[in-house]
Amino acid sequence: MPESPIRKLVPFAEAAKKRGVEVYHLNIGQPDIETPEAALRAVRENDIKVLSYARSEGSETYRKKLSSYYRKNHIEVDANDIIVTTGGSEALLFTLGCVSDFGDEIIIPEPFYANYNGFSVANGIKVVPIVSTIDDDFALPAIEEFEKLITDKTRAILICNPGNPTGYLYSRQELEKLKDLALKYDLFLIADEVYREFVYEGIQHHSIMSLEGLEQHAIIIDSVSKRYSMCGARIGCIVSKNKALIGTALKYAQARLSSPTFALLASEAALETPPEYFEKVIEEYDERRMVLINALNEIEGVKVSRPKGAFYCIAELPVTDADVFAQWLLENFSDRNETVMVAPASGFYSTPGSGKNQIRIAYVLNKESLIRSVELLKLALEQYLN
């Protein structure tokens, strides 16, 4: 199994903290936003006497409410098209297992969410990367390039929209092109849409399940983690109109019995979150996004992509090996007893040698902390390069 680039430097961060150094965490997508009160209350005010198993696919009431949420987002599904999972992580693990046999291939635009590598390895799948580049903010690579990679072992194309780590938001035209390809070669199109709500600059998010004609090929991966800032709940789901896919996913779900009961209660209650919550949260992320991008752009030698969604960006640094630099930040650098932790981007690629001078930054800290973090990065680069 590959290690997680997001977590592999944790021992060095812990050591820095033991030395009394404060570490700003730009490495992990753990939002500091408060979880909606309704979700917390559902757990706090519950006097359950037996903490029993839940249904493997999630209760009908929760799945019905989820389908209403999807319909509001132009995704026409009902409760039977949904399997509730233990996080988007489990949804990915199950889905990749459902669509492939050992030795099969899936095509993923890179850089991609690093754990796609781990879930593919766990399922005996070969990841076939297709490179997107920082110069065009990681837009969809030319569709002919995808076509060149399709073999008789290809089962699916996996995209993340909006993207982690790129922040890229696919346009309807790009999705239509992927749809045509999926239909032409009878492939699944899997879209990880866990950041659906987090889009900026007035651009609309389009789900693959709103594309007409793709019903039997489209699979959505979803999660409550980021939407309601409840990463610790560990609840997500698989959504598809394809009955065979949902039937197979159910068998995986039955094998692990159920998702955690308290977390299911909280997730169901979270669906009552008022729109004003999202308006405030999205405005906050949007402001952080601009603060971060503007500050990074002011550092000489740093190139940064402009994210349109999610809460990450990729920055290219004037260093040859960002893995070494990221570790150095934790082991050898501090300013006024503070340092910053970033995720080296090489782990978000599967082409060896790619992304070596890039890092991923999560803008999940408040603006003041973000400004200080970028200042620390700037001071560190000056010291590192001299």
Which residues face 191 on adjacent strands?
Answer: 159, 220
Nearest distance from C-beta of residue 305 to ligand PLP, angstroms: 16
Complex with ligand PLP: residue 245 or 364, whichever CB lies closer: 364
Nearest distance from C-beta of residue 260 to ligand PLP, angstroms: 13
Only segment of 14-22, 85-93, 173-181, 209-217 that touches ligand PLP (CB under 6 A)? 85-93
Please, are residues 145 and 130 in contact by the beta-carbon 8 Å criterion?
Answer: yes
Cβ–Cβ contacts within 10 Å for residue 87, how many?
A: 21
Residues 267-306 interacting with ligand PLP (rule: CB under 6 A): none
Site string for ligand PLP, 100-139 (x = CB under 6 A): -------------x--------------------------
Nearest distance from C-beta of residue 230 to ligand PLP, angstroms: 9
Residue 307, preceding bond cis, omega within 30 degrees? no
Only segment of 83-91, 200-208, 270-278, 335-343 that touches ligand PLP (CB under 6 A)? 83-91
Binding residue for ligand PLP, selected from 192, 268, 316, 323, defined by CB under 6 A = 192
Size of the site for ligand PLP (CB under 6 A): 13
Query: Whole-angstrom Cα distance, residue 153 to residue 25?
Result: 40
**Angle at which helices 322-331 and 367-385 pack, to 10 degrees?**
110
Binding residue for ligand PLP, selected from 131, 183, 231, 282, defined by CB under 6 A = 231
Please, are residues 124 and 139 in contact by the beta-carbon 8 Å criterion?
Answer: no
Query: Whole-angstrom Cα distance, residue 27 to residue 25?
Result: 5
Nearest distance from C-beta of residue 6 to ligand PLP, angstroms: 8
Binding residue for ligand PLP, selected from 31, 36, 88, 355, defined by CB under 6 A = 88
**Angle at which helices 10-18 and 322-331 pack, to 10 degrees?**
20
Query: Whole-angstrom Cα distance, residue 193 to residue 162?
Result: 7
Q: Is 92 helix (H, G, I), strand (E, B) or coil?
A: helix
Question: Is 223 near ligand PLP (CB under 6 A)?
Answer: yes
Q: Is 87 helix (H, G, I), strand (E, B) or coil?
A: helix
Residue 162, preceding bond cis, omega within 30 degrees? yes
Nearest distance from C-beta of residue 113 to ligand PLP, angstroms: 4
Residues 141-180 interacting with ligand PLP (rule: CB under 6 A): 160, 164
Complex with ligand PLP: residue 28 or 290, whichever CB lies closer: 28
Q: Rounded to a whole number, what is the largest CA-CA distance in the chain?
A: 63
Query: Whole-angstrom Cα distance, residue 380 to residue 386?
Result: 10
Binding residue for ligand PLP, selected from 13, 27, 29, 75, defined by CB under 6 A = 29
User: Which residues bind to ligand PLP, rule: CB under 6 A?
Assistant: 29, 87-89, 113, 160, 164, 192, 194, 223, 225, 231, 236
